[in-house]
Amino acid sequence: MSVRGLAGLAVFVAALLVPALGSRFYTFLANDVIIWALFATSLNLLVGYTGLVSFGHAAYFGVGAYVTGILMKKLAVPFVLAWPAAGVVGAACALVFGFFCVRLTRIYFAMLTLAFAQIVWAICFKWNELTGGEQGMPEIPYPDFGWIERIGASVPLLGGWRTAEYFYFLCTVLVAASLWALHRIVTSPFGRMLTTIRENAERAEFIGVNVQRYELAAFVLAGTFAGLAGGLFGIFNRGVFPDFAYWTKSSEVLIMTLLGGMGTFFGPSIGALVLILLNQQIVSYTEYWPLVLGTVLVVLLFGFPGGLAGAVGALSGRLLRRVRSA
Amino acid sequence: MLHVLTLLVAALLALPLVAEAQKPIKVGMPMPLSGPPALFGDPASKGAQMFVDEINAKGGVLGRKLELIVRDSKADANEAVRVARELILKENVDFLVGTLTSAEGPAVSVVAKENKIVFIAPIPKTDQLTAADKLHPYVFRVAATTTMEGRSAAEIVAKWPVTQVATMSFDYAYGQDVTRAFVEHLKKIKPSAQIVDQQWPKLGEQDYNPFINAQMAKKPEAIFSSIWGGFFVTYSKQAKALGVFDTIKYNFIGVGEAATPETTKSMGADYPVGIWGNSYDAFYWGETAAHRDYTARLSKYLKDEYPSSWAIQGYIGMQFLTEAIRKAGSAESDKVAKALLGLAVETPIGPLTIREKDHQANRGQLYGKTVKDPKYPFAIMKPVTYVDPSRFMD
Amino acid sequence: MPDASFVFAQSLSGLTAAMFLFLIASGLSLIFGVLRVLNFAHGTFYMLGAYLAFQAMLWLGPGPGRFWLAALGAALGIALLGGVVERVLFRHLYGKEELYQLLFTYALGLILSDAAKIFWGTQQKSVSRPPELAGSFSLFGATIPQYNLFIILLGPSIALAFWFVLQRTRAGRFIRAAALDRETLGALGVNVTALYTGVFMLASFLGGLGGALISPMRATTPGMDTEVIVEAFVVVVIGGLGSLWGTFLGAVVYGQVLSFGILFFPRFSIFAVFALMAAVLIIRPWGLLGRPLR
């Protein structure tokens, strides 16, 4: 196993240990972070790997949240089916919207993704019967953890956790699996082709690649994983609201991606971690969170253009060189 | 020597108990502090803070101080839920008092239910917050409801010499619910009344011209509006320019607090003086000594000659909570929730009671026709009447 | 079937909304045309313009023509602010990826709008219509506020002034050239840095002016920046990025769709703007009058 693989495994194990710290708040924070990490990584498949800037990625997150939420709350469908459904419907929406979007370039592409996302938001906001309108759909049930508690009664460590903690373990495993799948995708020949398209779409076209088809495939995959993240988030959040699909959510996830660094696979996850922790700390002291966030972004832009992951990478590179030369 | 040691040990053992008694009672307040709804959220949080400062100066409640922790809920249900859970998990708040919009209230109510923490909503009006299927032991409301507000307005409009009535409301829960309550009650008490037009601009609309034109083409004699806050300023400026108020001879009632001193003050000469409106409070009401005293204290606290009408909602919310803690003799939510049932409190606006049936206080509002008063550089409601909603509550 | 005077009134209200929006969107369009970046902070410039106009009215006290002075002062103040931001910060990002430039303008918007909250608080502010244009008149049975007519006339005037400057003046030729190829222009000895600062200031001026001129018809509150910026984006994109007449056309189409849309779909105004943008982009991927980007 490579060093990176080991590092990933270490993070995964560390994440699993969070509830053992005994603080419900840390578990809450960690759960928030890992779901946003998946959401941001799914966006990075578009922004970082394919070079397509989406202003409307929250649409698929929102759709996923509603799909899982409606299935579990209104139709009592078990999580095992309701969660994958979020990915399937997210993918379907991404296929329809993406079909139109990938025919556009750059800022027009971004604006069309925004338009579709806002239409999704408006539907969620207005369709009272299905989505609960702007009041959203509270009280999404947790998945059934009765079986694990029954097993846990005889196996040490497995039993005796709170429902929210079981859900956190579940999220950690599912997010890790999703990230692993995403990593496989970006390192596959398909993923490398996406990078080629980002670097030079004309050349890719020239060597006979159907660029739009590749872009659409990336769009659908990104929508799938955003939908899966949304499906988890609705349950974690104890409710699904139309603002999940609003453009401010799209900008939030884009900021995470850029903050962490879109050039690396784990950059967006780091961005999610940093942004959520920073928000946590700042709002305890001041209501002027936007001011602080804006300042942080400006400093980052001028100080660390590669994002946090890029900054860490550069720093460790420099340290390594120094160690070697010494 | 042994004696001293025993005393010391006893003191050490007692220490945690003393600390427990002196630990402040923490109250979390998710409130919009940014965007247009900050207009209400900000003063409401200050009213709550004033109450806390005052009670702490008197030694607190049950010998413990109160501590208010306010967080920006951004008038967004999702954010309000997040903030409420953080307040519970991170700040370990004992109670929640707060939220503003009709989406935030019910969403936070669910968090309160799951965590078994008393939640008092001081501003959200939607009937759904305390509807039978949503009610739980921990949710209470000291705001008016859409039913109470819509019916109160219908009572006023029914007395006007008009039959052709139109409505203008935002197309979301609050606008839909209050308009429905108004229309149903008006038809009941004045069968000759007809609803000739209903316009539903989107929440936060900035350009009302097309809606106003379309409405005026139906030739209404009176208009009911529930466009609230800063949006009412925008709406009424545009309506005034198009001559709406003159055409309907000022047979216009604006609920959603269209006649607050803040609104008339900010609009000055532009306010369509002569329309009817409502407000939770008005510094010039002064019906009772308690209210005059409250206004003087608030004026000093906010350093504002004409203090906000929204502060009182935060104040009353905290007042109910404190009284319930005192009555329960405990800061445990289960006991406080029971104490809140049927609790009557002397508020600055008068005696209010939270009834057992639906955890709803009989919070009425001030209604009146706006006039120019030489005493103030802006319009006031005169005569201003406190409409007791008790008979509209079912 | 609605009568003619109603249709007339409705189309005029659509036109008023369109020209308001054009005022704001024209600056956005200009910056995009030359600097190739969507300026998120433009909405905040608009909001600051409204607040500054309110503040200037307070300072000036009662007197004739003070609204116009206040509006002009506010717009100039915002132009200055735009100039400083461009000189000190923004210009260092010209070589960077577009996305980073966009992120910068977004961050700038966050900072400035919170700064406005610190200065002016959360209470709504309101500015009166100037007494010269406070009345209204009747035409074909429709009531038309004088102020609305002023806005309707101001929109095309600004568009024509722009056209004149861009087509007929030296500075205009440089601006057009800069939009096409900034390196060559620099090599020809034109001071591109100063030109960019000028463009940024002019665009900020228009944003600030839009905010100041809109304040008599709307409330000035926190959050008004995000409300307008998305609409302005939509208008610019519908028209075709970088095309001023496109932006003008986009604004007109947008205003009319909103005005008449509510007659047929009374409760769907929430969809209108984005449905319109999606429809235009699907049919014409470069907007109504735009050219393909590469």
Distance CA C72, CA A144 (A): 64
Structure tokens at B168: 């203008």
Find the CB nearest A115 among C93, C277, C294.
C277
Residues of C in contact with B199 (CB under 8 A): 262, 266
With a CB-CB cutoff of 8 Å, which residues 48-107 of chain C face chain A? Answer: 89, 92-93, 96, 98-100, 103-104, 106-107
Q: Which of A65-74, A137-146, B316-325 has the lowest mean pLDDT?
A: A137-146
For residue C255, tell me if it sits in a domain: no
Q: Which of B79, B86, B136, B176 to mutate to test the interface with A (most CBs of A within 10 A)?
A: B86
Query: For chain C, what percent of residues have pLDDT higher than 90?
Result: 48
By CA distance, what is C17's nearest residue in B?
Answer: B207
Q: Quote the pLDDT of residue A230.
A: 97
User: Does C273 fall in a domain?
Assistant: no
Q: Which chain A residue is nearest to residue B129, measuring alpha carbons?
A: A135
Give contacts of B102 with chain A, Cβ < 8 Å: 135
pTM of the predicted protein model: 0.90
CB contact under 8 A, B89 and A287: no
Overall average pLDDT of the B46-52 stretch? 97
User: Per-residue confidence at C291, pLDDT binned at 50, 70, 90?
Assistant: confident
Which chain A residues are Cβ-neighbours of C241 within 8 angstroms? 107-108
Share of chain B above pLDDT 70, in %: 95
Tokens, residue A274: 């940093």
- Give per-residue pLDDT as tens, C196-230: 899 999 999 999 999 999 999 999 988 899 889 98
Is there a contact between B202 and C269 if contact means CB atoms under 8 Å apart?
A: yes
The answer as to whether C109 is a domain residue is yes
Instruction: Write out chain C residues lying below 8 Å of B308, CB-based.
Output: 123
Measured in degrees and rounded to the nearest 5, phi and psi for residue B161 equal -80, 55
The distance of C3 to chain B (nearest Cα, Å) reads 9
More confident residue, C141 or A297: A297
Four-residue CA torsion sign, C138, C142, C143, C148: negative
CB-nearest to A293 from C89, C110, C271 is C110
Condensed to tens digits (0 to 9), the pLDDT of residues B74-94 reads 888 889 999 999 999 999 999
B89 vs A24, A139, A237: nearest CB: A24
Angle at Cα B282 formed by Cα B281 and Cα B287, nearest 5°? Answer: 90
Number of domains observed in the structure of chain C: 1
Contacts of B171 in chain A (CB under 8 A): 126
Chain A residue nearest residue C272, CA to CA = A119
| Cβ atoms within 10 Å of A12's Cβ, excluding its own | 17
Predicted confidence (pLDDT) per residue in B202-247, tens digit: 988 889 999 999 999 999 999 999 999 889 999 999 999 999 999 9
Q: Does C108 touch chain A (CB under 8 A)?
A: yes
Task: Answer whether residue A225 is part of any domain.
Answer: yes
User: Which residue from A25, A139, A283 is facing B110, i.e. has the nearest CB?
Assistant: A139
User: Do the chains contact at B233 and C219, CB–CB below 8 Å?
Assistant: yes
Question: If 0-12 CB within 10 Å is exposed, 13-18 middle and 19+ buried, where does residue A183 land?
Answer: middle
**Nearest CA-CA distance, residue A107 and chain C, Å:** 9
Nearest-neighbour CA in chain C from B216: distance (Å) = 9
Compare all CA atoms of chain C with the CA of A121 and give the residue at the minimum distance: C271
More confident residue, A83 or B128: A83
What contacts A277, CB < 8 A, 6 or more positions away? Answer: A29, A33
Question: From the list A136, A139, A289, which residue is nearest B103 (CB)?
Answer: A136
Q: How many CA atoms, within 13 angstroms, populate the side-chain half-sphere of residue B245?
A: 20
The tens digit of pLDDT for each residue in C111-131 reads: 999 999 999 988 888 888 888
**In the structure encoding, which two tokens stand for residue B250, read together?**
């000022």
What's the N-to-C CA distance of chain C in angstroms?
47
Contact residues on chain A for C293, CB-CB shorter than 8 A: 105-108
The reported pLDDT for the residue numbered B191 is 95
3-state secondary structure C207-254: HHHHHHHHCCCCCECCCHHHHHHHHHHHHHHHHCCCCHHHHHHHHHHH
C partners (3+ CB pairs within 8 A) are A, B
Sheet strands (E) in A169-321: 239-240
- Cβ–Cβ of C121/B205 closer than 8 Å? no
**Complex-level ipTM:** 0.89
- Measure in Å the smallest separation between the Cα of C202 and chain A Cα atoms: 23
* pLDDT score of B16 more than 50: no
- How close B86 gets to chain A, by Cα (Å)? 7
Cross-chain residue pair A291–C110, CB shorter than 8 Å: yes
Average pLDDT, chain A: 89
DSSP notation for C9-31 = HHHHHHHHHHHHHHHHHHHHHHH
Chain B residues in contact with A136 by the CB 8 A cut-off are 77-78, 103, 107
B347 and B337 in contact (C-beta within 8 Å)?
A: no
Lowest mean pLDDT among B6-10, B53-57, C262-266: B6-10
Reported as half-sphere exposure (CB side, CA atoms, 13 A), residue A295 has a value of: 9
Q: Which of A47, A103, A294 sits opposite C285 (nearest CB)?
A: A103
- Rounded CA-CA distance B77/B71 in Å is 13
Both tokens assigned to C7? 């249709």
Residues 6+ apart with CB under 8 A from A108: C237, C241, C281, C285, C286, C287, C293
User: Residues C72-108: pLDDT tens digits?
Assistant: 999 999 999 999 999 998 888 887 778 888 889 999 9
Number of structural domains found in chain A: 1
pLDDT tens per residue across span B102-150? 889 999 999 999 999 999 999 999 888 998 888 999 999 999 999 999 9
Please determine, for residue B1, whether its predicted confidence score (pLDDT) is greater than 70: no
pLDDT of residue B341: 95
State the pLDDT confidence band at C294, using cuts at 50, 70 and 90: very low
Asked if residue C25 has pLDDT above 90, the reply is yes
Range of the structural domain that residue A23 is part of: 3-260
The answer to whether position A295 is within a domain reads: no
Q: Which residue has the higher pLDDT, B63 or C93?
A: B63
Least confident of A87-101, A210-224, A308-322: A308-322
Q: Is the pLDDT of residue A124 over 70?
A: yes
Average pLDDT, stretch C275-285? 91
Confidence label for A324 from pLDDT (cuts 50, 70 and 90): low
Among the listed residues B284, B347, B337, B365, the one whose alpha carbon sits nearest the alpha carbon of residue B135: B337
Question: How confident is the model over A31-52, as a mean pLDDT?
Answer: 95
**pLDDT band, very low/low/confident/very high, at C261 (cuts 50, 70, 90):** confident
Average of per-residue pLDDT across B175-195? 95
How many other C-beta atoms are found inside a 10 Å radius of the C-beta of residue C43?
Answer: 28
CB contacts, 8 Å: C267 with chain A: 126
Distance from CA of C117 to the nearest CA of A (A): 9
Nearest partner of A305 among A314, A293, A318, judged by Cα:
A314
Exposed e or buried b per residue across A254-279, where buried means at least 16 C-beta atoms within 10 angstroms of its C-beta: bbbbbbbbbebbbbbbbbbbbbbeeb
Q: Which of B77, B89, B173 sits opposite A28 (nearest CB)?
A: B89
Q: Which residues of C touch B258 (CB under 8 A)?
A: none
Peptide bond into C222 cis (omega under 30): no
Alpha-carbon distance C17 to nearest alpha carbon in chain B (angstroms): 7
Q: What percent of chain C has pLDDT over 70?
A: 98
Q: Which residue has the higher pLDDT, A156 or B44?
A: B44
**Separation between Cα atoms, residue C99 and residue A107, nearest integer Å:** 10
Q: Which residues of C touch B (CB under 8 A)?
A: 2-3, 6, 9-10, 13-14, 16-17, 20, 117, 121-126, 128-129, 136, 142-143, 145, 147-148, 216-219, 221-224, 226-228, 258-260, 262-263, 266-267, 269-270
Q: Are strands B66-72 and B95-97 parallel, antiparallel or unpaired?
A: unpaired
**pLDDT tens column, A163-186:** 889 999 999 999 999 999 999 999
Q: Which of A277, A214, A263, A201 is nearest to A47 (CA)?
A: A263
The region of weakest confidence among A86-95, A302-311, B230-239, C6-15 is: A302-311
Gap between the Cα atoms of B329 and B318, Å rounded: 16
Question: Is the pLDDT score of B20 beyond 70?
Answer: no
pLDDT for B327 beyond 90: yes
Closest to A82 in 3D by CA, of A100, A95, A98, A70: A70
Residue B8 is predicted with a pLDDT of: 47
Return the residue of C nearest to A259 by Cα.
C103
Show the tokens assigned to C55: 């503040």
Does residue B7 register a pLDDT over 60?
no
Per-residue pLDDT band at C293 (split at 50, 70, 90)? low
Least CA distance to B108: which residue of chain A?
Answer: A138
Q: What is the dihedral of CA B16, B22, B27, B28, to 10 degrees?
A: -50
Which residues neighbour B152 within 8 Å (Cβ) at sequence distance 6 or greater?
A: B255, B278, B364, B365, B367, B387, B389, B392
CB contact under 8 A, A105 and C93: no
User: Is the Cβ–Cβ distance between B370 and B266 less than 8 Å?
Assistant: no
Residue B134 burial (CB count, 10 A): 18
Residue C203 structural domain = 20-222
How many CB atoms sit inside 10 A of residue A20's CB?
Answer: 12
Q: Measured at the alpha carbon of residue A236, what is the angle toward residues A230 and A238, in degrees to the nearest 5? A: 105
Strand-pair category, A239-240 with B25-31: unpaired
- Beta-bridge partners for B350: B347
Tracing tokens 């216009």 back to the chain, one arrives at B252
Compute the residue count for chain A. 326
Instruction: Return phi, psi of residue C226, to 5°.
Output: -70, -30
The answer to whether B89 contacts chain A (CB < 8 Å) is yes
Strand partners, C145: C136
Q: Which of A47, A43, A24, A34 is nearest to A277 (CA)?
A: A34
Q: Residue C208: what are its φ and ψ, rounded to 5°?
A: -60, -40
- Would you say residue C177 lies in a domain? yes
Interchain pair A115, C241: CB under 8 A: no
Structural domain contains residue C120: yes
Residue B3 confidence class, pLDDT cut points 50, 70, 90: low
Q: What is the pLDDT of residue B208?
A: 94
In a mutational test of the A interface, the residue from C44, C117, C122, C281 whose CB has the highest number of chain A CBs within 10 Å is C281
* CB pair distance less than 8 Å for A294 and C275: no
Per-residue CA distances from B340 to B96, B141, B343, C1 (Å): 14, 11, 5, 57
**Which among B79, B85, B173 has CB closest to A134?**
B173
**Domains, in order of start, for chain B:** 14-144+290-353 (3.40.50.2300), 147-279+365-392 (3.40.50.2300)
| Within-domain flag for C245 | no
Chain A nearest CA to C219, separation (Å): 22
Chain B residues in contact with C263 by the CB 8 A cut-off are: 214
Strands (E), chain A: 137-138, 239-240
